[in-house]
A and B are shown apart, each in its own frame.
Chain A
Amino acid sequence: MAFIFNTENVRDMTEEQKEQIIAAGVPLSLYDKGLMELGPKNKSALRKFANICTAISLNDLPIPPSQFIEFVTNRTTGKSKQDFTAIVDAKKGQGKSWSSAYMAGRYAMQIAYKFGANPRDYFTLENCALLEDTEGITKILDEADKQQAIIIDDAGTAIGSRDFAQEKNKNFNKILATCRTKRWFVILNVPISSHIDVQVRELIDANIHIYKSFHEGGFNLLKINSSESLFKFGKKKVIEKRFSFLGKKFDFWCAFSPDTLDPFKGFTEKYDKQRDEAANRIISDITVKEKDRGNPMTKQEKKRKEAVQKHGKTIQVMFERGDSARKMTAATGLTDHMINIVKAEMGLKDD
């Protein structure tokens, strides 16, 4: 469990912590502003950064301040009522869920530090929509308080680009376009960002790519770009720009496991369990749908089946009691014709 610094509490770093950092070969200057100078922009820069992150992870060193998280926090708590939405994309198994959870966790800790509250007030497992459909996501959004971190895992399930004109996508777009005053930090996970609805893609503030996974070292290296719209000759173009802080353009960002954050210890285990359950649920739902697709029923057949399921027992009881067809009609609301069909389906024959 590592101590988490921000640009304010880093001034209170103890001598013991300083010695620990120096002994691990990590430059102390990194902790001043959360900025790691990596020399010329080439392949060795990535290697240098990975070595530093490995040293921090393996030696349980305090985690340096994060300019990005503080930027997001300032935005969701600032005077101008803004929120922050990001897409995290990476191939399956590269660690986009964990990286998202780490960012959400750090955001919650930073906001809790600012307001003197509990980090778990701003992010819990309940804020994660795991393979949910649009209804599930909108339910989570409906119940979420202000300034929450929300993760929508595998967003392609709910707001896939192939369902672009469907009512569910339109509703989600409406929420995302108007939820600014809720001041959320929304993270959408998807293997490739083009898999989600284009309107959602245009509304986001940042694109986060998992550049390289270091599962053994316990961290991922990310590229975080701001998403900006340019208007030229009446045409709109969305471009990505590296985030700049302290007058420097940041090339790489490090995301550790969410378990390194004290308030979110054991998060990954619970998350994986819940995700497995969600995956099983979605697989069985799709299996049923596929089965139905293989044996298509006509509208009439569906109606009959529903009538038998809903009123079958009532009709059987009334039939055995010798009640008239008029009484059955009054009790069930079905027509005479439909009652006869239900009777036939259930094998009830008049003597």
Chain B
Amino acid sequence: MVTYFLLNRCNEFSRDIKTHDNVDVSAMTADLLSYCPDVKEREKMWKEFVKRKNDETTEGKSSSERELNASILTKGDFWAYICGVLEFTESSYGGF
């Protein structure tokens, strides 16, 4: 149930960000991250978002474009976190 909800939330986020021109991307990202159950992980992802958004070394990109890219990448981080927690992509190890 929780998995379905989170998947749905990520899907809605992608749809809204693509179809709406005048959206507050930062607010949408904050809204998405608010569903992260791990507080430390949430803060870490938010810091990373802010860092990416303010990264002026990215040439030829306007501030709004940077914000959008940062937001999409943060969604990727969130998704990777969910996959890790729910063991969607469990790593394998071998020993001798």
- CB contact between B96 and one of A38, A41, A65, A248 (< 8 Å): that residue: A65
> Chain A nearest CB: distance from B19 CB in Å?
33
Bound: A68/B96 CA distance, A: 8
B90 with A36: CB separation less than 8 A: no
- List residues of chain A with CB within 8 A of the CB of B92: 37-42, 45, 49, 251-252
Bound: A249/B89 CA distance, A: 14
Contact string, A60-78, partner B, CB cutoff 8 A, digits 1/0?
Answer: 0001111110000000000
- List residues of chain A with CB within 8 A of the CB of B94: 35-36, 38, 45, 49, 52, 250-254
A35 with B91: CB separation less than 8 A: no
Q: Does A245 contact B (CB under 8 A)?
A: yes
Contact string, B57-93, partner A, CB cutoff 8 A, digits 1/0?
Answer: 0000000000000000000000000000000011111
B90 with A253: CB separation less than 8 A: no
- List residues of chain A with CB within 8 A of the CB of B91: 37-41, 248
Bound: A64/B94 CA distance, A: 11
- List residues of chain B with CB within 8 A of the CB of A52: 94
> Chain A nearest CB: distance from B95 CB in Å?
5
B95 with A245: CB separation less than 8 A: yes
Number of chain B interface residues as a range: under 10
The total of chain A residues at the interface (CB under 8 A) is 26
Q: Does A34 contact B (CB under 8 A)?
A: yes
Q: Which residue on chain B has the smallest CB distance to residue A35?
A: B93
A66 with B90: CB separation less than 8 A: no
A250 with B93: CB separation less than 8 A: yes
Name, among B90, B93, B94, B96, the residue most crowded by chain A CB atoms within 10 Å (CB to CB): B96
Q: How many cross-chain pairs have Cβ atoms below 8 Å apart between A and B?
A: 58
A35 with B90: CB separation less than 8 A: no
Name, among A52, A63, A68, A252, the residue most crowded by chain B CB atoms within 10 Å (CB to CB): A252
Bound: A39/B92 CA distance, A: 6
- List residues of chain A with CB within 8 A of the CB of B95: 34-36, 66-68, 245, 250, 252-254
- List residues of chain B with CB within 8 A of the CB of A68: 95
> Chain B nearest CB: distance from A219 CB in Å?
9
Q: Which residue on chain B has the smallest CB distance to residue A36?
A: B94
> Chain B nearest CB: distance from A27 CB in Å?
12
Bound: A34/B93 CA distance, A: 10
A64 with B93: CB separation less than 8 A: no
Q: Which residue on chain B has the smallest CB distance to residue A249?
A: B93
Contact string, A203-236, partner B, CB cutoff 8 A, digits 1/0?
Answer: 0000000000000000000000000000000000
A248 with B93: CB separation less than 8 A: yes
Bound: A254/B92 CA distance, A: 14
- List residues of chain A with CB within 8 A of the CB of B93: 35-38, 248-252
Bound: A250/B92 CA distance, A: 7
Give residues in A with beta carbon < 8 Å to B. Answer: 34-42, 45, 49, 52, 63-68, 245, 248-254
15 additional contacts, CB 8 Å, given A66-B96, A251-B92? A34-B96, A37-B93, A38-B91, A38-B93, A39-B92, A40-B91, A45-B92, A52-B94, A66-B95, A248-B91, A250-B93, A250-B94, A252-B92, A253-B96, A254-B94
Q: What are 12 A-to-B residue pairs whose CB atoms are below 8 Å? A: A35-B93, A35-B95, A36-B95, A37-B92, A40-B89, A40-B92, A41-B89, A41-B90, A41-B91, A49-B92, A67-B95, A252-B92
